[in-house]
């Protein structure tokens, strides 16, 4: 049976690039339809994440002019991960397979063919993996690789050089729907779904137009989200650090007692001040990490909706 494909593309203030993105993706999907790779019921679904520009107006216009374009309009900005999840959960019962990608045309759309080929071989999840990071600055390339290694050390299963360009079958999407957490890090959650998976390499290009929606500040916040959402090892690290400091304190106390009886003690402020600042800093650091987890527990306990859909445009369902 020829599968129904839905491309899911989160959009936030993408009016500069969206017409070109829609044009290129339309050509690609129609070529796949013509070759009998995907069904005529396949769609390109843009998810408007509370954009402040004319993004939703463009999506609506595309939908009105061509049945191949579909649109999901969120009630407000919820962030890239929530917008992506909203799109996937909205279309999962309408299709056999989805492929998610960014709207900026940095993901090579020609890799879609290889992903669908892997799907036809029986793989439920296919990760788009960058073959190189030559387009990145040296700083970004090195920090990204270091972050992947850190995630691995913390016990988080992740795919190196993979963002959110991936194929997921309906079975995999149903599995992902079982994960109810509010704090989303899909790059770490999808591997937890299981099912047969494969990778496809591609060359990531430059952004076609507009500005990146992930400046350095947001990248740091996203990195912390990934660690604290999927691993409790930082808390265990605090416990081990406390044990080590306690042992060191006991050793120092014994040394001072011996020196006292040998009349070798030399009064000084340096060691006292250093100890106070070192221990104070460690305590604040530990409290901060614990606070991150408590904050996540607070958000999870409230169980607020991860997204609210204001409008869904799809001519197969209008």
Asked whether residue 18 carries a pLDDT value surpassing 70, the answer given is: yes
Of the candidates 101, 239, 91, the residue with the CA atom closest to the CA atom of residue 174: 91
Mean confidence (pLDDT) of the chain: 77
User: What confidence score (pLDDT) does residue 270 get?
Assistant: 47
Tokens at 195, concatenated = 């099912």
Q: Alpha-carbon distance 73 to 11, whole Å?
A: 10
**Domain 5-211+304-313 falls in which CATH fold?**
Spore Coat Polysaccharide Biosynthesis Protein SpsA; Chain A (3.90.550)
Residues 6+ apart with CB under 8 A from 62: 22, 46, 69, 71
Residues 6+ apart with CB under 8 A from 44: 6, 7, 9, 22, 25, 26, 29, 68, 69, 70
**Measured in Å, how far apart are the chain's first and last C-alpha atoms?**
25
User: What confidence score (pLDDT) does residue 14 get?
Assistant: 87
* pTM score: 0.68
Q: Which long-range contacts (CB under 8 A, 24 or more apart) does 243-247 make?
A: 245/279, 245/282
User: Model confidence over 174-196: pLDDT tens digits?
Assistant: 988 888 877 777 777 788 888 88
Residues 6+ apart with CB under 8 A from 79: 49
The single residue listed with the structure tokens 């997204």 is 307
The beta-strand segments (E) located in the chain are 5-11, 43-48, 69-74, 97-100, 125-130, 162-169, 197-202, 309-313
Asked whether residue 219 carries a pLDDT value surpassing 90, the answer given is: no
Residues 6+ apart with CB under 8 A from 89: 173, 177
In sequence order, which ranges of 66-137 are alpha helices (DSSP H)? 80-91, 111-120
Phi, psi of 59 (to 5 degrees): -60, -45
DSSP letters, 121-134, are TT-SEEEEEES--T
Question: Are 48 and 15 contacting, i.e. CB atoms less than 8 angstroms apart?
Answer: no
More confident residue, 222 or 187: 187
Q: What angle (nearest 5°) sits at the alpha carbon of residue 121, between those of residues 127 and 95? A: 70
Q: What is the mean pLDDT of residues 90-113?
A: 88
Query: Which of 24-38, 102-116, 204-218, 223-237 is predicted least confidently?
Result: 204-218
Q: What is the mean pLDDT of residues 234-244?
A: 67
Residue 269: pLDDT band (50, 70, 90) is: very low
Q: What is the mean pLDDT of residues 51-70?
A: 89
Q: What is the mean pLDDT of residues 91-98?
A: 91
């Amino acid at each position: 049976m020829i599968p129904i494909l839905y491309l899911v593309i989160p959009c936030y203030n993408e009016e500069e690039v969206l017409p070109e993105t829609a044009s290129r993706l339309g050509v690609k999907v129609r070529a796949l339809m013509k070759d009998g790779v995907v069904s005529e019921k396949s769609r390109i679904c843009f998810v408007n994440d509370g954009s402040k520009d004319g993004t939703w107006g463009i999506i609506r216009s595309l939908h009105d002019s061509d049945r191949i374009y579909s649109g999901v309009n969120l009630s407000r900005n919820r962030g890239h991960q929530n917008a992506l999840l909203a799109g996937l959960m909205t279309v999962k019962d309408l299709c056999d397979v989805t492929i998610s990608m960014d709207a900026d045309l940095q993901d090579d759309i020609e890799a879609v063919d290889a992903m669908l080929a892997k799907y036809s071989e029986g793989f439920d999840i296919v990760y788009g993996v960058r073959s190189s990071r030559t387009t990145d600055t040296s700083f970004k390339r090195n920090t990204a690789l270091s972050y992947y290694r850190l995630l691995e050390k913390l016990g988080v299963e992740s795919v190196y050089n993979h963002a959110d360009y991936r194929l997921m079958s309906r079975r995999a999407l149903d599995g992902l729907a079982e994960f109810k957490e509010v704090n989303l890090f899909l790059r770490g959650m999808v591997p937890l779904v299981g099912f047969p998976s494969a990778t496809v390499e591609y060359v990531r290009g430059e952004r076609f137009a507009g500005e990146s929606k992930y400046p350095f500040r947001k990248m740091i916040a996203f990195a912390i989200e990934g660690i604290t959402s999927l691993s409790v090892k930082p808390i265990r690290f605090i416990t081990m650090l406390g044990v080590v400091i306690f042992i060191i304190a006991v050793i120092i106390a014994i040394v001072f007692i011996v020196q006292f009886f040998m009349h070798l003690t030399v009064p000084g402020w340096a060691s006292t001040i250093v100890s106070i600042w070192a221990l104070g800093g460690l305590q604040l650091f530990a409290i901060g990490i614990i606070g991150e987890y408590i904050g996540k527990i607070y958000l999870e306990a409230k169980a607020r909706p991860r997204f609210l859909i204001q409008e869904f445009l799809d001519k197969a369902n209008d």
